[in-house]
Structure 1
Amino acid sequence: MNGAALIARLGDLSAIRGRIEPERALKDLVWFRAGGPAEVLYQPADEDDLRAFLPKVPADVPVTVIGLGSNLIVRDGGVPGVVIRLSVRGFGGVERLGATRLKVGAGVPDKHLAATALDAGLSGFAFYHGIPGGIGGALRMNAGAHGAETRERVVEVRAVTRAGEAVTLSNEGMGYSYRHSDAPAELIFTAAVYEGVPAERDAIRAEMDAVQEHREKSQPIRSRTGGSTFKNPPGHSAWKLVDAAGCRGLRIGDAEVSQMHCNFLINTDAASAHDIELLGETVRARVLETSGVRLEWEIKRLGVFEPGRAVEPFLGR
């Protein structure tokens, strides 16, 4: 990687107000605390800054977007090209629109949206109280929990294209399905309009408290983890398949399948991204062998492997 050379290719950046850093370590920004650097990390000041920056990136240079880093493995070889991180400072606003709608920045933490909706007396957002991520990622993957999903609350999504143009997608245009959207991969979500249902704050608070109690009792929320590792296959619970395959507590180096909830992987000390992904693929291989089910990753994996340390899906099976 040569971040300085890539920045030079971007040309005149004097009008760009955001922060641009060559070869910036990403492990400090992801919850697993593991992985390599971004060739260039750009943190836009706001949407206008993002729109001014994107046309400067040559077409052959990959652009990758990250948010709060909660549901992410960054491989040890790092992420080539430009990594864009939408910060809370630049994209963390929440604005009331009429009686039942909220305009929410893509950098807003999910828990903050739940709390803001509570203050506004709007129900339908309590499930976000238990999701450790940001709205940008929730929009992209249709994040959900406790029987509720992002798509149930989204009215429209604002995004920026690789050419720096602003576009708006309707709920239908997002093409939502389980933990997935069909929105073009090049789009960078910057904000969304959500709609809630008026309700008593005490009832909303009780629902949020139930979500929090469930998390504290069943999930390793104080560990270095990436949240739910695998999607639930149709008709199955991923954690039950992992448990039945004998993987609870399985370790590779300092990476471990959580004893508390075995659909969570944990960095217990100094695990590398290689250790974490290898553990995940080992689990997938064992579940395939014992149940015939091919688990799909819910955690996103970005970047390149270090030379000689690639991890094959299902360990090459």
Structure 2
Amino acid sequence: MDKERVGFAGVGLMGHGMARNIVDKGWPLSVLGYKRRDAVEDLVAHGAREVRSARELAENSDVVVLCVTGSRQVEALVEGPDGLESAGVPLVVVDCSTSEPASTTRLAAALAPRGITLVDAPLSRTPKDAWAGTLDVMVGGDEDAVARVRPIIDCFAGRVVPTGPVGTGHTMKLLNNFVSLGYAALYSEALMLGAKAGLTPQVFDSVIRGGRMHCPFYDTFFTYVLERDRDAHKFSLSNALKDLTYLAGFAQAAEVANPVGAAVRNSFAQAVAGGRGADYVPMLSDIVGAANGIAEG
């Protein structure tokens, strides 16, 4: 059976490795570039073809994978001028972005009459895992559509977890990020308090590492804290704030109290408001420390 034609938009920190896995594993790939010319040129050198618009991407694809910042970018790619739907062709769109669940379900309903099926498939883990093909993927959507795109997702996934109907993947992603970013806020404040008491990050690490609170997120966070490796966890503070803002909107729509979420969001909002949005999540430890009179490093 011939492999379906795959389109890819969003070849950034995560998307580049994902797209390389797709093309290297033999799928016909078209790619829509934006800022990362180096990524586009690398993919073309490995057999992909470049297109100039989302409409052209749709015209040359059976399945289109999106890996962009969030819902506004997804909506623009799908519904904007020369967007995917303007091509008037049947498609399955796989949204691997961290998107707003309400936008995802609205978009899915609007696209269905046009022969376009939306599957939400957000990601967990790091850009290194994207290159290694070992990402965790949460997949929401129609069972037949999910089965159809599963071989493509398997190109870059080590673990795939079906979550239910369309929109549930993005909801689960927000909950996943709430937990992980909550850890980041807790680590940062705990390190600051420890420093006030004369406890070094090394002492803190010697207690946590190998114990019940040790986890892979801790590893990447503390690779920065202890080794000052800026690339240990390449997820920006501004993107973290975006995800926590989506979570706040979800809680508000559900008419529930979300006080811990609000506190975590405020930690990131302060960092971004202070001009540090382009820094990565583990650097929150420096920002919280500096706000309390502790020098970075």
Which protein has the bigger strand share? Answer: 1
TM > 0.5: no
Which protein has the bigger helix share? Answer: 2
Which structure's relative contact order is higher, taking Cα pairs within 8 Å and 6+ residues apart? 1
